[in-house]
Structure 1
Amino acid sequence: MVTLMDCIERIPLKLEEIANKRDVRLSGLLEYLERKDEIDEIIFVASGTSYNSAFTIKSFCENVCGIRATLVYPNIFVNYTEKLNPKALYVLISQGGSTRLVYEALEKVKKLGYLNCSITASLDSIIANHADVAIEMGCAHEEYNYRTLGYSTTVATLYMMCIDIARLYNNITEEQVSDLLEDFGNLYESLVEIKGKTLSWYYENKFSLMKRNKMMVAATNDLWPVAQESDIKVMEMVPMITRSFELEEFIHGPQNSFDDSTVFFILSRKGEDEEKAKAIAKFIKNEIGFCAIIGNSTMGERDLEINPRSKYFSTLEYITPMQVIAYKLADDHGRDLKRAVNAQVTKYITKTI
């Protein structure tokens, strides 16, 4: 039987395929945009893991590619957003391809005649068939609803999309594109190495992790959305109550709820509030309980040191430990990830078409 760990282990190969086939996969979108006026914004409409994927690449899209990026939840977009940007490209993301509110958001955009494209796991889906341009997510069939492969391939697809749109509008040069793609290639072996390190770390700390029933994850910059995705993965897979925070916000109101029944993770990258991250971790370790820094700016005891090889795309390296930890906690708690916990919810509300 395919395990969720098997899905995680397929990620490096799928990322390589996405990079190698990007010219073919994104050609339809680029041809579509070439015939239109230049966009001034990309608006991503998505929920859950798909939302986190778009949030993950927002900083890259704006700061490297020079394109403003906005994120909107489908329910807010459909029911509570009145004025839409006529110069934007609307990107509707749904891994299953049949999320009801994402479809309704697409219809809203199309009725106004605005530019749109979909990103779905299969091009043979109602959302993909309805969009002006359909892009394949790159994950193929993912055996579990708790998306690990889907998150990573969506992030990768969005990175490639931003690069190609930026090149189309001359926001970046061909040399910069080559440098970015070379840097992306550093991920493939790195993800395998990080998975191995995480498993070793997990077995060393398994007892401390298993005896706690809550989790908090904190990070800053583009690792904050990685923390949010970690939050969802642990909450839906283990399952246990989790919360994620931007690093500075973490030490305001939330610290009043810190206690020893909570596992604390801080995702930390050198040069990005690393001293603040270490100070918070030291406080938790000394005064509260279990805390681990994950990254290349660690303190030693209980921390999980990883050394990302990618300059621009290390978000995909930082999510790997949290994907592995979420799976191992779920497995060691005896969770059957093929079975929904509250399957009866579908009697009350329908999320798909």
Structure 2
Amino acid sequence: MCGIFGYVNYKVPLSVRQIVETLLLGLKKIEYRGYDSAGLCLDAIPLPSDHNAANDGPTPLVIRSVGNIDALRAKTFADPALSPAHLDVVVEHHVGVAHTRWATHGEVCEANCHPQQSNDGAFSVVHNGMMTNHQTIKTMILQENGYTFRSNTDTEVIAVLAEYLYTEKGIRRFTELTFHLTHFIEGAYALLIRSSHFPGELMACRRGSPLVIGVREPLAEGRLTEKRWGINDGKKPVEIFFASDPHSFAAHTRHVVYLEDGDIAHYRDGAIGFYNPPTTAAPALESEVSRRIHQLDGVLESLSKGGFAHFMLKEIHEQAGAAERAMRGRVNFVSGAFHFGGFSAPRLRSLREARRVVLIACGTSMFSAMAVRPVWEELVATPVAVENASDFVDRGARVGRLDACVFISQSGETADVLRALEGCREAGAVCVGITNVVGSSVSRMTDFGVHLNAGTEVGVASTKAYTSQVVVLSLIALLLSQDSRALKGRREAILQGLSELPAKITQTLHDVETPIQEVARQLQNESSLLVLGRGYDYATVMEAALKLKETTYIHAEGISFGELKHGSLALVDPAMRILAICSDDKHAEKCKSAIQQVSAREGRIILITNYSDPELTTACEKLILVPKIVDCLQCILNVIPFQLLAYHTAVLRGNNVDCPRNLAKCVTVE
């Protein structure tokens, strides 16, 4: 959930000001992930006239601030060590790190910001993840040996542990020290470690949390090896970026190296070596590995609001284009033929012959799986289950070689999904990935998969990715059932609906904007809402409630109409505002009956529907009409009014719509 950024310039003359700006810009590019504080660490560069500068390596300058990147910028340029004269000093080689923090251990305060330092200030660490055994190491090893702590973070324990290994254990090689350090740590992490004991060097470590390296040309193309040192021979100029998200350096380079789980990368003298030491044995220096350079072509785009007030509103209005891109090149609406690049005949057969299909996801992605489960069960002659990834892991749910597991994650880095994926891989299940980020962990760890092509989604509250997930999963269901003659008519109806979908999304946005703004004004001061639906729209009301909670901070609960009499009907009274969906499908009469029961108890209903009915008009306080489409895709049109309602209500309440409190775009910590 935090953001990591590191920058190295080697034989590339830059002023200190340029280096600081690069670090701040790197953080700025990933602030959409969510954070509450930020910091950076660079060398305190002496002036050329300063003859008293220390000769035993540069002194680290750590600057930290609660708040946004602008607050960190102001504090950085106000620091006495970064006077105009210091900022104008040109250096050919420098290693800097920066970080945005989302609190996990310790409150939001400057002392808990990253980078965290060792007691002697020699080690500086930025960290994304959660060290689960930090308290044990802190009390039983470090405090027992006289070390003290200034913060409440697990990250400071890592920095102090590095000092302990260097000072008390006498480990004086940076690689060996880092091997031992990571051997102590339990839990998931991405780490950057720099030390004044090893000037001009940097260690990057990954286990269970994303970390990617960007290399700016000139570079040695091809395969990178440890042999001194793969990326560069130490003679050529090079700029190297270390980040939790490639957006942070996309403006500089498209050449990337993805660190694999357990990797440790050692930067020194313009080059990088890669290691992957075993976790079950003593650290071994003979664990060199090679990592390939990848090219990011057309994957990352500039993050612009494009004339909209917020990214969330922009992304709501991009859903027609996102749906079209999700289908482009994958389905021929004339012939009914499908083409998925990753679905070779053997892979397709492994899906069709699976004993069962398990759709595994969290949050909005899980609701997209719930939305398509009915059509999968209808079209695919295989039992289909939807699993919450964290619950799946907690239960130790069993899968086997005859199962197909589909992992759905917008970012491809969701911690719970990755944990579930690891277990399913070990069990030998067929693993399929559905993600919006090329090169993400899900895309690399699964056997094959589909890229959503939704475009970068910045708003924490997912909108267009949800639509794209429903479209892609519907396409896969059609692909798996294409040999069934009995389902020919149904498949043709769904294909017709998919062909109409982009235009229907555009029409929906046009039709509901004004009435939804009126509803937002009515609901902005509410403290609790019920959202009711059934059938294909059970997932819709769950997703609608999540959007309202995320952005408005109003308690909202998604409930199936079928569950009302099992307890939830007790919540209905004249003060409770109720949002409901009733679509013209096989569940319409049951939905209408439930609406009348709510109305009889003086419930005040605002209804989203795709047809006019006098009984609904009488029972409901307000009706908002959306266009009609084939039943299994109606959920996409029905969710749009709720997305807009969540957005407009949040704006009226003065909330940060794109970065809601306490939430992050990419949940990389369990």
Q: TM-score, normalised by structure 2?
A: 0.49
Distance 1:192 1:210 in 2: 26
Whether contact under 8 Å (1:263, 1:291) holds in the other structure is: yes
Match of 1:318 in 2: 638
Stretch moving more, 184-193 or 297-306:
297-306
Match of 2:626 in 1: 306
Deviation at residue 96 of structure 1 after TM alignment: 1.2
Task: Map 1:77-226 onto structure 2 (within 5 A).
Answer: 77-167=392-482, 170=484, 177-226=491-540
Stretch moving more, 16-25 or 128-137:
16-25
Letter in 2 for 1:56: A
Stretch moving more, 36-45 or 105-114:
36-45
Aligned partner of 1:8 among 296, 308, 316: 316
Match of 1:50 in 2: 365
User: Deviations 1:110-164 (Å, cap 9, x if unpaired)?
Assistant: 1122211111111211221111113212322101110011111111110011111
User: Deviations 1:259-299 (Å, cap 9, x if unpaired)?
Assistant: 34432111111244434433443454464353112113452
Q: Which has the higher strand share?
A: 2
Whether contact under 8 Å (2:647, 2:657) holds in the other structure is: no
Whether contact under 8 Å (1:45, 1:93) holds in the other structure is: yes
Match of 1:339 in 2: 659
Distance 1:305 1:286 in 2: 23
Q: TM-score, normalised by structure 1?
A: 0.89
User: Deviations 1:145-188 (Å, cap 9, x if unpaired)?
Assistant: 10011111111110011111222x64766776454322211222
Alignment gaps of 5+ in structure 2: 1-303, 332-337
| DSSP-derived class of the 1:28 partner | coil
* Matched residues, number: 348
Letter in 1 for 2:650: A
| DSSP-derived class of the 2:433 partner | strand
Letter in 1 for 2:314: D
Aligned partner of 1:327 among 638, 642, 647: 647
Whether contact under 8 Å (1:220, 1:272) holds in the other structure is: no
Match of 1:255 in 2: 569
Letter in 2 for 1:333: R
Structure 1 residue 240 corresponds to structure 2 residue 548: no
Structure 1 residue 26 corresponds to structure 2 residue 334: no
Whether contact under 8 Å (2:326, 2:453) holds in the other structure is: yes
Match of 1:267 in 2: 581
Distance 2:348 2:367 in 1: 28
Whether contact under 8 Å (2:371, 2:537) holds in the other structure is: yes
Letter in 1 for 2:322: K
Whether contact under 8 Å (2:407, 2:432) holds in the other structure is: yes
Stretch moving more, 281-290 or 5-14:
281-290
| DSSP-derived class of the 1:44 partner | strand
Structure 1 residues 307 and 176: alpha-carbon distance in aligned structure 2, compared to 1, 3 A threshold? closer
Stretch moving more, 329-338 or 156-165:
329-338
The share of aligned pairs that are identical, in percent, is 18
Distance 1:84 1:112 in 2: 6
Deviation at residue 331 of structure 1 after TM alignment: 1.4
Distance 1:207 1:322 in 2: 14
Deviation at residue 31 of structure 1 after TM alignment: 3.2
Distance 2:409 2:668 in 1: 11
Distance 2:580 2:651 in 1: 23
Letter in 2 for 1:165: L
Aligned partner of 1:294 among 598, 608, 620: 608
Deviation at residue 236 of structure 1 after TM alignment: 0.5
Distance 2:655 2:556 in 1: 17
Whether contact under 8 Å (2:359, 2:369) holds in the other structure is: yes
Q: Which has the higher helix share?
A: 1
Deviation at residue 311 of structure 1 after TM alignment: 3.9
Stretch moving more, 26-35 or 72-81:
26-35
